[in-house]
Amino acid sequence: MLTTGGEYTDRTHSRHRSLDALHAEHTVRPVLPVTEQDHQLLQEALRRAGRRAVASLASALDLVCHELRESLGGQASMQTMIAGRPGSWESAALQEVIWFGATLNRPRLGGNVTQTRAAGPNARVDPAAQQTMAEIIRRWVSDPHRYTEVAETLADIVSQHADEHHGVHGWAEIADDRLQPGPAADENSYTCYKLLYSLSQHLDPALL
């Protein structure tokens, strides 16, 4: 985080470093917008997934986060997923969407984690779309030369896709019945709607 004094601090504000010092101690990547190619690839994956798009995206997010957890550790994996704007409400919501994705990737709870993951994903997920989405997100967070903010970028692309292809019925066409707002919705519907549909022209503030 950049301070008013021109130095950078960590989340605890206990350490301050100049940009030169950060370059000397760490690999520093610029935060850059999504590439046009990835934008188009993600739009196509959303289109292909249909009403399984939101669930497939949540599943893909957890898949990438799980891979990071295996290589970096638990805390570092989530920090990598929300880097760029770690204090934003979008990044906080993204963590909940990732946790939802974990339930989709482990359709049977209990037992060996590796085995239950191998049995997934849930039928609510489009496997081909999930793999394409995961490949894109993996590139955003793992490219050694650049980083693309995950939460805000997904909110923009998903909202744009819903508006352009489905208009006022956008959310109903990209999310399954259990993610539709209402008494029958599961506990994850609110956060998915709040984040991934946040930039839609048809967002209903009454549902937030």
Residue type, 127: P
Alpha helices in the chain (DSSP H): 19-25, 36-49, 53-72, 74-82, 89-105, 113-118, 127-142, 150-166, 170-174, 189-196
Helix axis angle, 189-196 relative to 150-166, nearest 10°? 90
Identify the sign of the CA torsion 8, 10, 13, 14.
negative
pLDDT in tens, the chain (208 residues): 444 454 444 444 455 555 455 444 446 789 999 999 999 999 999 999 999 999 999 999 999 999 999 999 878 999 999 987 777 899 999 999 999 999 999 866 666 667 777 777 999 999 999 999 999 999 999 999 999 999 999 999 999 999 999 999 999 999 999 999 888 888 889 999 999 999 999 999 998 8
Q: Is residue 26 domain-shared with residue 36, that is, in the same domain? A: no
DSSP state of 31: B
Nearest to 120 by CA among 41, 60, 45: 60
Q: Is residue 1 domain-shared with residue 45, that is, in the same domain? A: no
pTM comes to: 0.86
Q: Quick count: other Cβ atoms within 10 Å of Cβ 53?
A: 25
Structure tokens at 85: 């704007």
Domain range holding 9?
1-30
Q: Is residue 17 domain-shared with residue 88, that is, in the same domain? A: no
Q: Is residue 96 domain-shared with residue 172, that is, in the same domain? A: yes
Q: Is residue 86 domain-shared with residue 40, that is, in the same domain? A: yes
Counted domains in the chain: 2
Q: Is residue 106 domain-shared with residue 63, that is, in the same domain? A: yes
